[in-house]
Structure 1
């Protein structure tokens, strides 16, 4: 009888101790797993990190061949440097500003064989899909009602002025645009907005239909030309190192990048139109192909793997 009473008393003591424990470790209920030795540390927002290496097991063969010199286990600025070297080395044909007319007729048509080209930003007041943003590919020039060659990275915002050679005639950022509406953009830096393209305060919103295209073009220009084409805009108007083409918060991993571009890249996925342009320029057998590709069109997640961002962009190479 005394033995039973002792056992009951001992059990009550154990229950009392366990009910007031301050041990923060919670037993993992999953069979076969070991209990962690220490609690998981929270993410420190003051120390931003790039995205983790992605699952790229579904990369198309022709792209795998092109990117064979890039170590995709790298993240952050190390991966940026790998992509910068490849993008520079693969750029074998340098187009003249005059060549861009013919290159655009080949790359910016609505569909193969079409006589219509897409117009970046569209027309003033256009409110519906990309099929409304077109003009006959042969109707180009400098007059109202025609299309001209838009420097998506405004020439005067380069470091120094991009002029019309080198980065100023890179087909990856030169796009057909309505003459009148393009003049409204002028050299305004890009800025956050919504809806159709428009001037906002001292900036230019490219439109919901085009913001992802613009983001990926600006990322390409920065990777390809480095400090000549810095995205981050210096609101003071200084045109030295630090000026650029996008108004917004600086990225914490790379202060020359702008968070707004990462948001646009994630929000507006790559279109078939963008892919077709990229394929054309990646194939050196095409008459006006540069030979290099825009890596952020091939896989938007590469921007996440370099610069992080609020949300990861789509990984188009994942199974």
Structure 2
């Protein structure tokens, strides 16, 4: 008759010593597996990405991180133009750009339809819990044979019900103690690091950034405040289209990728209201505007409804900092005039500063800034995060 020790040696010879045995099998304490089972892993607290990178032992573990792109080579992760649904990269920060701080997650066929970035580019920036074997993928720290991936829910930056985000930590490093022109120059350096969208890509972005918090099938039109179906976009009467808050003729950049496609100043608006605004500068006063309650206009200026006056001002200030003439586009600047025409200027700065102070950032505007940062352009509007910088720079 074989003893327990003989049985254990036989199991080891067969390479299955890792199988747990029970007290009933041997009449005393169980033999513990060196690696957790899938069920045990699912019940464990998730590792950070940094911990997972340092735990490449083939153990099955849950890992929590933000989806920051698709790995296509050992040191290459793409954030747009995704070639397939085969893999995602996770990081501890949604703005991480160093592949050394990313975990490459191989997606089995069962998870590709839900989590592959070619099929679902909107997953970029979401925080998820992924469970699988921590093993190199693309000769890079990774996870293979993922058994499950689930959004963490409350921390998903794309959820309109989330609380407003806090200041994004290290994003504004280097601005301490700066003011005026020096602060403006540093902010330009920071926010110029962005993903540039195509003009067609703006449609999808706006359906995400301007989603109605009370109806996920709709967007909110910026000037009128109307909630309208996302599918109602186009160029016909009563459609919504892409309003350039910094009128594209002010600097003559049109719809060129860059200022012409920057969603920090592009918003949904009714086609007719968009036409009424045209390329007018911003100022107080004027007559009522059809289909735009609370708006006013005259021959040389446009006044939005009170609820978005500060939003409009902060979009204009963003554009004046982001596009300073150093990247093949006109140097956009605010001034205290109207009737700026095709000059790369918009006014009135005195009125815009007043609007920004009277209408501080609300939850909708803060969420919009966060979604642009985490999912679309990966840069921020600093005047939403720090409205006090308006007075310092302008």
With the length of structure 1 as denominator, give the TM-score of the two structures.
Answer: 0.64
1:155 CA displacement = 0.7
Q: Which residue of 2 aligns with 1:202?
A: 300
1:165 CA displacement = 2.2
Select 1:265's aligned residue among 353, 356, 366. 356
Q: Cα distance 1:140–1:299, how it changes in 2: closer, same or farther (>3 A)? A: same
Q: Which residue of 2 aligns with 1:101?
A: 203
1:183 CA displacement = 0.8
Flag the structure with higher strand content: 2
Query: How many residues are paired up?
Result: 219
Q: Which has the higher contact order (CA 8 A, sep 6+)?
A: 1
Q: Cα distance 1:191–1:62, how it changes in 2: closer, same or farther (>3 A)? A: closer
- Superposed, 1:162-311 pairs within 5 Å as 162-193=254-285, 196-227=294-325, 228=330, 229-232=332-335, 239-240=342-343, 243-246=344-347, 248=348, 258-283=349-374, 286=375, 289-307=376-394
Paired residues of 2:218 and 2:227 also in contact (CA < 8 A): yes
C-alpha distance after superposition, 1:188-216 (max 9, x if no partner): 11112388112123111122121101000
C-alpha distance after superposition, 1:280-317 (max 9, x if no partner): 1211xx2xx1010000111211112323xxxxxxxxxx
**C-alpha distance in 2 between matches for 1:145 and 1:238:** 27
**C-alpha distance in 1 between matches for 2:294 and 2:214:** 26
With the length of structure 2 as denominator, give the TM-score of the two structures.
Answer: 0.52
Q: Cα distance 1:75–1:187, how it changes in 2: closer, same or farther (>3 A)? A: same
Is 1:64 paired with 2:169? Answer: yes
Q: Cα distance 1:154–1:238, how it changes in 2: closer, same or farther (>3 A)? A: closer
Paired residues of 1:191 and 1:200 also in contact (CA < 8 A): no
Paired residues of 2:310 and 2:360 also in contact (CA < 8 A): yes
Unaligned runs of 5+ in 1: 1-59, 123-129, 249-257, 308-319
C-alpha distance after superposition, 1:137-158 (max 9, x if no partner): 1111011111000011111112
**C-alpha distance in 2 between matches for 1:236 and 1:182:** 18
1:234 CA displacement = 5.7
Paired residues of 1:189 and 1:233 also in contact (CA < 8 A): no
